[in-house]
Chain A
Amino acid sequence: MLVNQLMQQGYQCFGPGVENGAIVLHELATPDAIPRGLQAVQSPGRYQLTQDPEQRYFAWANGPQAIKPLAFAPTESLWRVARDATGTLQFAAVLPAAPKRALIGVRACDLAALALQDAHFLSAGARDAHYAQRRDALFLVAVQCAAPAATCFCASTGDGPTPTTGYDIALAELTDGFVAEAGSARGQQVVDALRLSPALAQHIDDARKQGEVAATAQTRRLPGRKLRDALMSQLEHPRWDAVAARCLACGNCTAVCPTCFCHAEVDQPALSGESSAHVREWDSCFGESHGHLHGFNVRPDIRSRYRQWLTHKLAGWHDQFGRSGCTGCGRCIAWCPVGIDLTEEVAALTAREAMP
């Protein structure tokens, strides 16, 4: 019903679906295309689809991607240049077409991550036109996370499992239906158009309790704000060597991270030689080129790359964005091919801090 309404309003609707063995947000062909009973078991280095016995729509915790690629495109042209026979260059900006898109089933951790991406790409006086174009076209339907994965720790970062801000409509899925709440004027307008019956106090209370249960079910946690100084005082800790011995520097963690914003700018000349596109694409601080500088590499080893990632995410972000860059989604844990667990590394790196 909700998807139908959004489609009628001209939104291209994205919702959960299985792609390559994982649940991601993809375009819904029809209003009833959201599957029931999808679930996935996640643990360090592991992601396995299963069935939800209750056959709910949203009993899954986040798969590898959700909002990020739809606002910050994995690859896109920033500008093009044409060269004529005389060698004269003509530059022109390229802006993406950005259809109205409604994302159904986004989670609190990803809304918090989107707010961080907004802070980075839409900072005052420096709006990124490409990001803004896509971002402004997003209509966000959040769903309370009732079944967190073993890798989730949004409760400890303060970002979930119940969405509190940043959505147009928030849903809580209960055994006998949904509780919907508008979070914006346009969200309210959609809710009004649905002519829903008012939620009973019992339903609202059930939803609240469901969120509390989901929070206490989380076993992993990340310490709070003090992490910044704790990590920055451990820059030569032997644990960096230990994690570097396991880390493959594959960049999976940065690719699935909903807040990582690093991107490379590359040129793609046309075969004709008459034009070239200047393209930005997701980059990773685990890649060899990230720290490249004329003739040498600032971060030639995996130890310094893992340390770069972790200290930027959990320390540098406090200075740059006023909070940690981790929203507890746990993707970097599940999608790490060797199962490196960020919460475990942080605990080990900071455990000795109190010691003399």
Chain B
Amino acid sequence: MNDAPDALDVGPPHAATVVTRTQESPTIFTLRLRLDDPAAQAAYRFAPGQFNMLYLYGVGEVPISIMSDPEERDGIGHTIRAIGRVTQGLAALQPGDRIGLRGPFGRGWPLQEMGGCDVVLVTGGLGCAPVVSVIHYVLRRRERFGKLVIIQGVKHAEDLIWREQYDRWAKLPNTQVLVAASEGGALWPWHVGRVTDLFSLARFNPKRAVAMMCGPEGMMRSAADSLLAHRLPESNLYLSMERNMQCAVGRCGHCQFGSAFICRDGPVFNWGTVKTLLGHRGF
């Protein structure tokens, strides 16, 4: 796994400015942020899979994964669904508006351990956001990896964001893009059904593959069953988890899961370390 951040950023947050705002779907939007302190922005580094706490003035903080390219130096991207008190407020922000940001937090995807491997990414809904920086990472270092298989599922066809990117990735050599929607729609070019239906179409060498999952836990459990049935070694299966997080440094207790605080010890875990408890509702 990647190293945890050097120092715990318990706050106060850094002041940051919204640089661009992109509406991705009726409820999903992307904010590209820049820290107001140029030195802090220049020094900002993150590993794909890590998250930031975004602070909306007077309302509160939310944990949001970082979706931008880790090589990008002048902005930090977050793709957010407007669903709660803070995220609905964040949705109303426009370029030039100010927010607070602290992070990055947690441990990211095991990119160092993926060298030479086929990379299989299985995501559901907005679970694509914490994984898209892995796609950027792999595409920038294409020669270091084998096949890249991108599997994304959504409930409704209209929930799929980044359609053009999926189309673009699908045309790249050695790259496979498989998308499914439980409910299709007019002109839906991809599969109608569940993500797990797509595994029979995925072409990768399970013995030399690393799989990363992010999405609803039911989907990840089914996906894990399929991948392991395809003889992917359990040690090569990773997932990103989500729980209520308020401090982001393993103190507030909300994201305790077995022996871990997900914000600090995750959000990325090896499947083997969390599979038992994931089978029980309520943790």
The answer to whether the Cβ of B254 comes within 8 Å of any Cβ in the partner chain is yes
Interface residues of B (CB under 8 A from A): 8, 10-15, 55, 57-61, 81, 83-84, 87, 96-100, 242-244, 246-247, 249-254, 256, 258-259, 261, 280-283
CA distance A303 to B282 in the complex (A): 9
Who on chain B is nearest to A264 by CB?
Answer: B246
**Neighbouring B residues of A303 by C-beta, 8 Å:** 282
The interface-forming segment of A42-50, A198-206, A288-296 is A288-296
How many inter-chain contacts with C-beta < 8 Å in the A-B complex? 123
CB within 8 Å of B: which of A249-300? Answer: 261-267, 269, 273, 276, 278, 280, 283, 285, 289-295, 298-299
Residues A223-244 near B (CB distance < 8 A): 235-236
Choose, from A120-128, A187-195, A213-221, the stretch at the interface.
A120-128
Is A83 an interface residue, CB under 8 A from the partner? yes
- Asked if A93 is at the interface of the complex by the 8 Å CB criterion, the answer is yes
Check A78 against B15 for contact (C-beta < 8 Å): no
Main secondary structure of the interface of A (DSSP, over half): mixed
Name the A residues within 8 Å of B247 (CB-CB): 263, 265, 280
Q: Does A308 contact B (CB under 8 A)?
A: yes
Type the 1/0 row for A137-179, where 1 means its CB is closer than 8 Å to any CB of B: 0000000000000000000000000000000000000000000
The segment from A84-92, A328-336, A340-348 that touches chain B is A84-92
A336 to B52, CA, bound (A): 38
What's the least CB distance linking A63 to chain B, in Å? 24
The B interface is mostly helix, strand or loop, or mixed, namely loop
Given A303-B282, A319-B259, does the pair A265, B15 have CB atoms closer than 8 Å? no
Number of interface residues of A (CB under 8 A): 52
Q: What are 23 inter-chain pairs, A to B, with CB distance below 8 A?
A: A79-B11, A80-B12, A87-B96, A88-B15, A91-B12, A92-B12, A93-B11, A126-B249, A128-B251, A129-B10, A235-B280, A236-B280, A261-B251, A263-B251, A269-B58, A278-B12, A290-B244, A291-B243, A293-B243, A295-B83, A295-B84, A316-B259, A320-B256
Residue pair B283, A265 in contact (C-beta under 8 Å): no
